Structure 1
Amino acid sequence: MELAIRSRSTGFTRCSTRSPQPCTRCWKRCCASIASSLPRPGVAGARISPVRRRPARFVPLVLGLALLSAVGSACDDARDVAEQRFTPTTPGVLTVAVSLPAPGYWDVDSAGEPTGGFEYELAVALADRLDLELAWREVPFEQMVAGNLDGADLALSQISVTDERKSLLRFSTPYYESGAGVVAADDDDITDLATARDRSWGVVEGTTEEALVRDVIRPDNTTVFADETACVQAVAAATVEACLLDLPTALVIEQEVDGVATVARFLTREQWAVAMSPDAPTVDANVAAVDAAIRALDNSGAIDQFAAEWLDSRFARDPADLPVIEARL
């Protein structure tokens, strides 16, 4: 399924600085002055829906070297993005591969249209900085990590960078770091590897958590599920006794399923990044463009803001309060 969700309607773009006033040097050299009034080509058969804009935030004008330094840094970020060119498969449209359901990352309504989420907001911001419209295409996770994005320009779907995946995909600079969370019955007590090994486990196909259960926990019984929600529901139904997910997902989903809780964590410190096909003719330039955009969004605090709004605020508990299962990873 593919759905265009972002259509640029403004006739010009300007760089984003942390100054309350635009930087003249940045405005002239980094940003497009006047864009064409013709509409951009969309994705055939796609539905267009408006994307909400965040209200502008104003800060007091502060004079001095600190302000000049902040403005200069923002201008450098914007220039870095402007100097990179991303060439999408469909002219004017950034097509993103995503595996659904993905609560907290790609929230959708009853019609299946995106309504928000950490990676949804990141995708919108990337498309905006690359001066492209945004479309998304649903692709199974195990297919994406095997190197097949089904024609999408990139994948933005909680994909951890691993040596094996580097041989199949090209990755951007990381945008998030995550651990692994143990979801079990809310009265279960899994705090060490020996106890974990005694449980039956559920995992999601193709994930690094699947490998962790197989190679580190090594239980007698493991069941593979198609997605995280199905895995957690299996715990609630006592089909399996525990499920291993990336920690943010575990903390969000547990609030949606009765009788389960995130009871422990592994310190995997996995880094998530945007994945692209190495076979794309302009992959080097595309990776450089995405890297520049992610650095700019990180430096501006936008990525932290997306995480705070769509993940941290929905966590069932503080992840720092969870016991850590010690293991050689």
Structure 2
Amino acid sequence: MTLKSFSGVALAALAVTFLSAASAQANDISKCVLSGEKGSVAITPVNEGAITVETALPNPAWWNGDTPDQIADGYEYCLAANIAHRAGFDKVNLVVSSFPALIANANQNKDLAMATISITDERKKVLSFSAPYFSSDIGVMVKAGTKVDAETVKTFRIGVLQGTTGAKFVSERIKPAEEKVYAENPAMFAALMAGQIDAAITDTAIILGQAAKSNGALTVAAQYQTGEFYGAIYPKESPNKEAMDKIIDDMRADGTLAKLASTYLADSWGADPTKVPYLKP
């Protein structure tokens, strides 16, 4: 599938009508609406009776809540819930870690890890990724009223998140006047609000949600095209890769991924990501 066609599923198809009421299942896992046939794909989970997912918080719209006890929906959470449902389970267990620890894949007591993780050739050398489920570009979030174009960005003090593809893109392609690395998104966003940096650059999908919560103080003024996609990370030598990949591919084909995007991303962002102007580095 080409980038154009996949992006059409993940972004432009946000308004696609979901499955008919007859095909949608009752809500069995938190607030997630489930689809597809329960138990249609066989998976052997690391913890009996549930799918165990590692993630990094906070990540609004993708995981709605700041702690595992608070999370009941969101794009990635409900993606996990639908995987669990189609595997015949009624529960999703959450394990929270930092993004750098998650990328290190040290925790093998999980079925998959999801935290808006971009699939890259470099990461694929050491990590086992799922089928892609969302296209990934990086955006430039600034205080409202800040002028942003391809040249002014290079004069900014830019904040990036440690271990991300966005951080590498900024260092190698944008080459700003100053770059500050943060271990967690909240610290980077706080630095932007405090005037310690001029822009925060990370996944457009993440900062649109943050800007939407800022009461107009922050805006996503531009973005860069990366040609990358989000995928889950499997534990080493996972016996479930083929089965879980099939579930994700099936959810793309039957409209479930489009419905998740429409339900949890478009409304939360308050903006169409395809309308954010693109810059060339």
TM range (shorter): 0.7 to 0.9
Alignment of 1:2-151 (within 5 A): 20=22, 51-52=30-31, 54=33, 82=40, 84-108=41-65, 112-132=69-89, 133-149=91-107, 151=109
TM-score (norm. length: structure 1): 0.72
Q: How far is the alpha carbon of 1:90 from its aligned partner?
A: 1.7
Alignment of 1:241-260 (within 5 A): 241-258=198-215, 259-260=217-218
What's the counterpart of residue 175 of structure 2? 218
Q: How far is the alpha carbon of 1:201 from its aligned partner?
A: 0.6
Q: Do the aligned partners of 1:179 and 1:267 also contact (CA within 8 Å) in 2?
A: yes
Distance 2:23 2:133 in 1: 28
Q: 1:316 to 1:189 in 2, by over 3 A?
A: farther
Q: Do the aligned partners of 1:160 and 1:271 also contact (CA within 8 Å) in 2?
A: yes
Amino acid at match of 1:295: D
SS in 2 for 1:209: helix
Amino acid at match of 1:233: A
What's the counterpart of residue 323 of structure 1? 277
SS in 2 for 1:297: helix
- Which residue of the other structure, out of 81, 101, 111, is the alignment partner of 1:153? 111
Q: Does 1:297 align with 2:248?
A: no
Q: How far is the alpha carbon of 1:20 from its aligned partner?
A: 4.2
Q: Which has the higher contact order (CA 8 A, sep 6+)?
A: 2
Q: Deviations over 1:19-59 (max 9, x none)?
A: 9489xxxxxxxxxxxxxxxxxxxxxxxxxx96236499xxx
Amino acid at match of 1:317: A
Distance 1:115 1:53 in 2: 7
Q: Do the aligned partners of 1:228 and 1:245 also contact (CA within 8 Å) in 2?
A: no
Distance 1:53 1:212 in 2: 34
Query: CA RMSD of the aligned region, Å?
Result: 2.6
Q: How far is the alpha carbon of 1:210 from its aligned partner?
A: 0.6
Q: 1:50 to 1:91 in 2, by over 3 A?
A: closer
Q: Which has the larger radius of gyration?
A: 1
What's the counterpart of residue 235 of structure 1? 192
Which 5+ residue runs of structure 1 have no aligned equivalent? 1-16, 23-48, 57-73
What's the counterpart of residue 263 of structure 1? 221
SS in 1 for 2:95: strand
Calculate percent identity across the aligned residue pairs: 26
Q: 1:322 to 1:197 in 2, by over 3 A?
A: same
Which 5+ residue runs of structure 2 have no aligned equivalent? 1-18
Distance 2:211 2:68 in 1: 23
